[in-house]
Structure 1
Amino acid sequence: MSQLTLESQVSDIVTALPHSADLFRKIRIDYCCGGKITLKEAAEGRNLNPEVVLNDVKTIEQKIEAKGSLEPAAFGNKTLVAYIQEKYHAGLREELPALAPYITKVVKVHGEGHPHLIRLQEIFRTLRAELLDHTEDEDKNVFPAILEFLENPTPELREFSQKQVIELEEEHDNAGRLLFELRELTNDYTPPEGACGTYRLVYARLEQFEKDTFEHVHLENNVLFDRVRAAL
C-alpha cells in the first residue's frame, strides 16, 4: 500500500495490509463487519487519536516484507473460496467442538465465583451453533452459486447472490457483536490472578477464535462479497 491516509477505509487497509488486523483487534476497531468507514472515523469512534493510529499502521507497513508474497485478497475467485473453506470453515468444525468441554469444565468449577463465565458459555454455544450452520450453508449452497454467478451472471444467479450476500453479512454482524461482548466480559481475554491452566487455555483459545473469525469475515465481506457487488 503506497498511500495510507486518515481517509482510507479500515477494510481496505486490512485487505492490502493483513497484519494491520492485529492492531485493529487490539484497539477494538472493527475491520470486518463495520470496516467500511474511514480510519479517522473509526479511531474517533474509539476515542483514539487518529494520527497515532495511522502512524501505527504505517509502522506495520514498513516492517512487512511483502516482496513477491501473495495475500488471499489477490487470489482468484475459486482459490479464494477454497482458501476460506480450508482455513476457516474446516478450522471452525475442528475447534468449536474441541473447545466446548473445556468451557464446560471452567464454568462448572469457577462459575459460582465468576458469574461472567455463565454468559461466556451462552455466547459460545450461540456462536458455535450459528457459525456451523452458517458455514455449512455457504459451502453447500451459497459459494457454488456465487462462483457460478461470477463466471456467468444470469438474472437468476444475480438475484440469488445479492440476497445471500445481504443475509450473510447480517449474520456476520451478529457474530461480531457477540465476539465484542466476549472480549468485554473477559477483560480483553485477561485471566484473573491465580487462574488455573484450563481457565487460561479457554481464554487463549477464545482469543484465537476471535482473531480467526474476524479474518474469516473480513475476507468474505470485504473481498469475496465486494466482487459479487461489483458484478451485480
Structure 2
Amino acid sequence: MELIDQSLGQLARRIPGATRLFDAHHLDFCCGGNKTLRTAAAAAGVDAAPIVEELRQLAGRSGTTSERDWQDAEAAELVDHVLTRYHAVHREQLPELIRLARKVEQVHGERADCPHGLAEQLSVMAQELESHMRKEEDILFPMIVRGHGAMARAPISVMRMEHDDHGVALRAVEQLTGGITTPAGACTTWRALYTGLRTFREDLMAHIHTENNILFERFAPAAVH
C-alpha cells in the first residue's frame, strides 16, 4: 500500500520520526491516527507529496535510530512503560505548570499577551487527566496485563473518546498561549512556563499515540478512513 493511503497511526508506528514530521505539519497523529495521510493532509490543506518524500527518507534512516520500537513489546511491558514514562511524568508536570501559570497571571496580568485563564485551563486538564489515568490503572490496564485485552473493547472505546477530549484541551492551551510562543520581554518564570508547556504537550501527544496507535490497536483496531 502506498504511504499516502496508510493511516497516520500506522505510519507513526512504523517510521521513527514520523510523529515529529506530522506535528510540524499540524497533522493529528494521536487522536486522529485512524485517518489516512491523504485524508488528513486534504483536511488540513497541506500538500501530501513532500510529506511522503520525507517519510521515505525517514524510513531509509530507520536503522540508525536509537528510539525503542514499542510495537513489538509485550503488552505488560508496554503498560509499564506508559505508567512510568507518561502517567508518573504528567503527575509531576501539571502541578508545577499550574503554579507557574498562576504566578505569571498574577505578576503580568496587565499585559495583553498574558495567558489569562491558563492556570484554570491547566487545573481542569489535571483533574480530567488524573481521572482518565486512574480508570486505566484500575480497570483497563489490569485487564490487559491479565491477558483479557480482547474483552476490553468497551473501556478502550471510552479511553479513546477521552483522548479526543484531551486533544481539545491541549488546543485550548495553545490558543491561550499563541501556540506556546514565548513573547518578547518575558520573565524567567514565563519562559520556564512555556518551556514546560511545550514538553508537556509533546509528552501528552506521545502518550496518546502510544496508547491509541500501539497498545489499543492490539485489542480494538480503529477503522481507517
TM-score by length of structure 2 reads: 0.89
2:115 to 114, 117, 120: 117
Please say if residues 150 and 228 of structure 1, whose CA atoms lie closer than 8 Å, have aligned partners that are also in contact. no
The amino acid that maps onto 2:133 is T
- Whether 1:192 aligns to 2:219 is no
Segment drifting more, 140-149 vs 161-170: 140-149
Equivalent residue runs for 1:1-232 within 5 Å: 5-66=3-64, 70-114=68-112, 117-150=115-148, 158=151, 161-229=152-220
RMSD: 2.1
In the superposition, relative to structure 1, how do residues 203 and 53 fare at CA in structure 2: closer, same or farther (>3 Å)?
A: same
CA distance in 2, matches of 1:13, 1:187: 29
In the superposition, relative to structure 1, how do residues 68 and 121 fare at CA in structure 2: closer, same or farther (>3 Å)?
A: closer
CA deviation digits over 1:151-184, x for unaligned, max 9?
7x5xxxx2xx222111111110000011122223
Secondary structure of residue in 2 paired with 1:171: helix
TM-score by length of structure 1 reads: 0.87
Please say if residues 43 and 53 of structure 1, whose CA atoms lie closer than 8 Å, have aligned partners that are also in contact. no
Determine what percentage of the aligned residue pairs are the same residue. Answer: 29
CA distance in 2, matches of 1:181, 1:27: 18
Secondary structure of residue in 1 paired with 2:146: helix
Please say if residues 38 and 48 of structure 2, whose CA atoms lie closer than 8 Å, have aligned partners that are also in contact. yes
The amino acid that maps onto 2:76 is K
- Shift of residue 68 of structure 1? 9.0
- Shift of residue 215 of structure 1? 0.8
- Shift of residue 18 of structure 1? 3.7
The amino acid that maps onto 1:109 is V
Please say if residues 75 and 144 of structure 2, whose CA atoms lie closer than 8 Å, have aligned partners that are also in contact. no
